Structures are given as C-alpha cells and as structure tokens.
Structure 1
Amino acid sequence: MAFQRVPFLDIFKDASGGNIKTPNNEFLDEGDIPVVDQGQNLVAGYVNDKSKACKSSPPVIVFGDHTRAIKYVDFEFAMGADGTKVLVPKIEADLKYLFHALKNIDLPSAGYSRHYKFLKETEIPLPLLAEQRRIAAILDAADALRAKRREAIAQLDAFLQSTFIEMFGDPATNPKGWETRSLGEILKVRSGDGLTAKEMAPGGLFSVYGGNGINGYHDRYMFEEPKIILGRVGVYCGAIHLTKPRSWVTDNALYVRELLLPIDTLYLVEALKAANLNQYASQAAQPLISGGRIYPVRISLPPLDLQRRFAAIVESVEKQKARMQAHLAELDALFASLQHRAFNGEL
C-alpha cells in the first residue's frame, strides 16, 4: 500500500515559543513537574513552579535540536533550556504514529550544531488514521520488548553498583576507613583524537568511542588494550566507559593513559562512576571536564585482593550482559525491519 508523503511543516507546528525554559542548574532531584530537555533521558529533573509548565496540552513530541533526541511526552512537563523543541500536530493524526515516523528519519549529524533545520525539510508517509493507529500499536508492542530487555540490563548495572557499596561502603563517607588517594596520584588522563563523522567507516571493524560510549566505527584503532574513558564535554560530561580492545577515542572523551599506583581496572571503573565526576565540570553553557578539574577528587583504595574479588564479579555480570545485549540486538533488528515495512506500506 503506497502512502502519500506529506511535508513536515504541513503536519507539525513548533509550539516552543511562549514557554519558560528551565536551565540545568535549576533542576531539582524531586518536584511537582518533570523537566523534559534535549538529553537522552525522558525526564532530566524537576521543578515546583507551576508557571514553568509547558502551555501545550499533552501528548506532544519533544525534539532535541542539538542531540536529535525525539521523545513522546504524555504528561505535564516543563521545558529544558537550550535546544528543546515542542512539536504538536496541525492536522488530525495519531501522535504515536507520528512519533515513530520521526524516529524512523535518518537525520544527518551536525555535531553540536542545530538539527531542526534538517527536520523541517523532511516528509512523512501518512496513511489513513485507522492505519496509523494499527502501525503505532505494532511498533509500540515491539518497542516494549526492547524496553524490557534494556531494563534487565540496567538491573545488572544496578546489581554491580549495590555490590560495590556492600563490599567497599559509600565512597562519599568511606565508612570502612579505606586508604584514600587523589585521582592525580592514581592516574593521568589525556584527550582523545578528533574524528569527524565523515572520517568514520560504517563498515569498520573497530569501535569509535565518544563521551556517550560507542558512536561509530573506523578501519583503524588507537589502542590495542581497553581504555577507561570519561566524557569530556557537553551532556555526557563525566560519563565513564571501558572501551573494547582495539578502539578509537575521540576528543569528546578523556582516556586514562597511565596508572601511577597498583589498582584493578574494573574496580577503578566503578569507583570513578561512584565519584560522580560530572559535578566537577565547568558551569559554562558547554560543560567541560579536564584533568585539572578531577585530579583533586579522592577515591578509596581497598586492598588489591578485595578489588580483584569485585573484578571477578564484574566479569561474571558482564558475560550475562553480553548475552542480553545480543538478544537486544536481535530485537533491535526486528524493530528496524518492522519500521522499514511500516513506513513503506508493507506492514
């Protein structure tokens, strides 16, 4: 069944104007009104001021102008600041279908530049309303399976965090009285090497890491061995990852280039996560982390044999995660196939 393709601007209205935008430094951990911004998480924080609630009645679609994130928001919310776009339909249509259709669009990446200019030039396949609802229901059901698998993976991460606390205590209070050292005494970091999207190789064998983890592939690598990396700039400041062997690290991340004291790598990864290094980022419009900002941060140094016992648990959990992630990849492939068929009139 062939669908008519309708220009984006004939379907959507930008309803962002006239709303109060809340900057990150005003977010609360709890509150009456969730804040939806352009980050990857659905809710970024909270506010209590009712005047900050978005004027558009839910549901709406939120688009991240810098991040290209697309969110379906079916509750009252306040807008985040920079890069948050609120989109509402100008025509009668199923908003969940439109959400899936937007998620199916492959927008070009312009880095931290703005992307709404690209979205405005797109077209959306638009079947009859009943067909929109049928397609949305199928995609919702498939997406729910992916969400359950991601939740199971997240529970494994939470298990590691709780195991870390049980074995080593809260890093903020160090109740077990472990020796502590500053990060500057433990390690040295360096910025990765820049690599533009054009320089990546989609069919490359080696993972390219930025501040948010793997963001592409390349036909060359920088390091033979795994590296601990820290998100250096933007919304992923302070995020911690351990790369795969033979990977590339871009200049959106710092990597640990040298360990100055005996310490288990897997223990160090969790200790850095527990240190919440994003709190030491500069408070400019574009947050930034550097070695100088994190070197004074102190972490615990428990006995090396205890660190290694924890590392063995991590390795066991990571094997379980790998199996779950393989299943998630299968579900992602199924979902992508359903998307392709749905928006080409074949579902």
Structure 2
Amino acid sequence: MKLIALDAIAEIVRGITFSKADGSSTPEKDRLPVIRAGSIQSELLVDEGQIWVPKEKIKENQIIKKNDIIMCMSSGSSSLVGKCAKASEDWIGSFGAFCSGVRPDITKCVPSYLYYFLCTPTFRNWSGASDGANIKNIRASELAEFKIPLPPLETQKQIAAVLEKADQLRKDCQLMEQELNSLAQSVFIEMFGDPVTNPRGFDSKPLRELVSVLSGATPSKSNDNFWVGNVPWVSPKDMKVPELYDSIDHVNEIVFTETNLKKIPLNSILIVVRGMILVHTVPLAITRKNLSINQDIKALTVKCNSIKSEFLLAVLSSMHSHLLSIISTAAHGTKRIDMADLLGLKIIVPSIQQQDQFIKAVITMRNMTATQQAEATLYENNFNALMQKAFNGELNLDNANTQ
C-alpha cells in the first residue's frame, strides 16, 4: 500500500486566534461560535463550550464543513494531542488556535477512511510523542508531511464501510449501557423527586455537614520510584465509570510517606473539580479500593450515619445540571468548581430504610450493566482488530463485508 503525505490528500486548516477581549460566552449579533479542544469527543460537540467571536476574525475556509476532521494540536496532556472528531454536517462556526481542521479532498480520499486512520494507534502514538516539555504540540508542517497508507478510492470506500459498521455496533452497545445507567437516575427521581427542589420535603443538610474532604496531588514525575507500584492514582481520564477499582496510572507506597499524597478510603465519592471536561460533564464515581487522586479531583468521605455513600453518589448524579450551573472559569480559562459552592449544596437525607431500598435496586441495575459492558468490550475489541487489519493491508474485505 503506497504512502501519501497528508497535505497531498487533504487541506490543513489552522484554528483561529483571538484575544480574551474578543471572546464572549453568550451569542451576540455579528459573532460566530468557536469550539475548543474540549469539544473533540467521540463525536464533535458543536453545541457545548463555545466562545463567540466577531465574524471578521474567521476566514471563509475556517468555517466547519461536513466531513472536516477537527484535531487537537496542543495540550498539556499527550493523550489529547492528535485526538480528533469528524463533523457530521456543515456548521456555521469554527475552531480555536489549539485545534486544526483536516479537510479531505474527496477526489483523492474517502473522509471516513482518513478519519479512522487518524484514530489508529499508529497515528496517536506519533502525535502523543510531539514536542514540548509541559505543553505538547503538533506542528502543522509536520502533520502535513505525515504519510498516510492510501489504497485506491474503491478500496478506501470498502474499508470505510466495514469500519463504519463495526463502529456503529460499538456505539449502539455503548448507548445501551448509557441507557441502563440512566435508568438508575429515573428510579431515583421516581422514589425521591428532584433533589434540588425537594418537592417531597425530605430532611436536607448542607454537604459540608455530611462529608469530609480529601485533596489529591501529583508526585514528582522526575522520581521514577514514585511511579512503580500498585496503588491506583486516579486522574480525570479514569473517571468514566461509576465504580472505581483501578486506574491507568499507579504509584508506589513510598509516596504516602515522602510526599503529601494521601490514600482515599473505600466508598468515598470522587468528583472532578477542575478541567475542561467540566464544560459539559461533572464526572463522579465511588471508590471500591484504597487509592489516590490527583489535584483535579476531590474525595468526599461520609462522616455521619444519616446517609450512605451509594445514596450520596445517586443524589449528586441526579443534581448534574445543578452542578454544571455552579461551575466557574479560572483566570487561565480552565473550568472549576469552587469548594464553598459544592459544600454548600443542600443534600436530601431520607430514612436509611428508603436509602437501602434504592441501593438494592441500583445493585440489580449494575449487574445488568456489567453484562452489557462485557458485550461492549467484545464489540470494542472487534473494532480495534478490524482497524489494525484495515491499515496493515490484512483485512479480507469479502469476509468482512459478510459479517
């Protein structure tokens, strides 16, 4: 399979630059929305976290078109650099300077084929190794020269069709899992009503009276001994499941004696309080193992007998929209939750018997979710295997299209 430089099959569109004074958090006349790297998820989230800037700041070719692939070009996290999402339709808006657009030439490449290649470990490993000690960057000139394996258009279409089918199966399974998780929220509302307005008049207490708070930290990256161990060290990238047993990174026991990092007790509620994820989501989880956390997370440990950790997690999860409403923006643009606002939240406290009844229902639903997660893992593994074969020239298109 021949290798072709990216800029021979696609236009690289730089993101727009603008001053803080040029941006507005609300729509205004003669302004257009601009998305940032936080909008690059499994889909391109064009309706969240926009900054509105004067129209004249945006060139015509910087308006997002259907099939544009928007890529994160600069971040403090190497795992985010190179992350991309494909626009499903034209959108009258643009993207910021920390992003670039890859606009495929449809006479030379199939957009979905190019998008899936840019999601492969081959490309992500290259982009994650980009220059920068603290802030990782992909240079537009280097991206333009990156070589893409490019079979004939008809073969690209076939490969894209196979991957799109596998990707949709994967997404459908993930959606079912999300619906099962949402079911727990529905049961909560049915039993207790809206925890913010508390229409059923349950006793309530400020969160500060119910929990103690533990903070996290990042041990020195220059000390390799700190990072060779078995104790989970949770950062926001791990906060994707309601129960935490493990994490991507781990630390050694010595960090708890040589640094200010503390172990978090079992059944503590973790909440992300800083980061761009807060533009659209406030991640929450309960700890099922003694672990540690970084500085972007707080741990809430129940300190009284009137509320159970599982129930507190459900209350906070049901208050998600309200949690989003108390998020503020730090001076450098990062989203954050002020602890005074968080600890001032009124938490409903039904009887222990009512809490236990709800927790029993949640356990049943989690068992159902575990089964769905196992199926989702199978689809995920299948998709990744197909991706690897597709771009190594090993995919049997005749067999793949009949599966």
Moved more, 19-28 or 161-170: 19-28
Please give the alpha-carbon distance, in whole angstroms, between the structure 2 residues aligned to 1:201 and 1:115. Answer: 27
CA offsets, 1:66-98, max 9 Å, x none?
334311112122235563432212572101000
Q: Which moved more, 1:218-227 or 1:54-63?
A: 218-227
Question: What does residue 25 of structure 2 align with?
Answer: 25
- Secondary structure of 1:87's counterpart equals strand
* 1:194 alignment partner in structure 2: 218
Query: Is contact 1:189-1:258 (8 Å) kept?
Result: no
Q: Partner residue of 2:329?
A: 283
**1:193-272 equivalences in 2 (<5 Å):** 193-194=217-218, 207-212=232-237, 213=239, 216-218=248-250, 222-223=263-264, 225-237=266-278, 238-272=282-316
**TM-score for the superposition, normalised by structure 1:** 0.83
Corresponding residue for residue 38 of structure 1: 37
Residue 74 of structure 1: aligned partner: 88
* Deviation per residue, 1:267-302 (Å, 9 max, x gap): 111211222323323322011224333111112111
Q: TM-score, normalised by structure 2?
A: 0.73
CA contact (8 A) 1:202 1:216 kept: no
Amino acid in the other structure paired with 1:92:
K
CA, structure 1 residues 308+183, in 2 after alignment: closer, same or farther (shift >3 Å)? same
* Larger radius of gyration between Structure 1 and Structure 2: 2
Q: % of aligned pairs identical?
A: 22
The count of corresponding residues between Structure 1 and Structure 2 is: 341
Partner of residue 95, structure 1: 111
Supply the RMSD in Å over aligned alpha carbons.
3.6
Correspondence 1:127 to 2:151: yes
Residue 139 (structure 2) aligns with: 117
Aligned to 2:139, the other structure's residue is in SS state helix
Query: Can you list the C-alpha shifts for 1:134-189, whole angstroms capped at 9, x where unaligned?
Result: 11111111111111110110111111111111111112211101111111111122
Letter matched to residue 268 of structure 2: K
Distance 2:265 2:232 in 1: 12
CA displacement at 1:14 relative to structure 2? 2.8
Counterpart contact for 1:205–1:217, Cα < 8 Å: no
In structure 2, runs of 5+ residues without a counterpart are: 241-246, 254-262, 396-403
1:109-188 alignment runs, 5 A limit: 113-117=135-139, 120=143, 122-188=146-212
SS of 2:117's partner is: helix
Query: Residues 328, 34 of structure 1: CA spacing in aligned structure 2 closer, same or farther, 3 A cutoff?
Result: farther
Correspondence 1:290-309 to 2 at 5 A: 290-309=338-357
Q: Contact 2:16/2:97 (CA < 8 Å) preserved in 1?
A: no
CA distance in 2, matches of 1:24, 1:324: 42
Evaluate the alpha carbon distance shift between residue 280 and residue 200 of structure 1 in structure 2; reply closer, same or farther with a 3 A threshold: farther
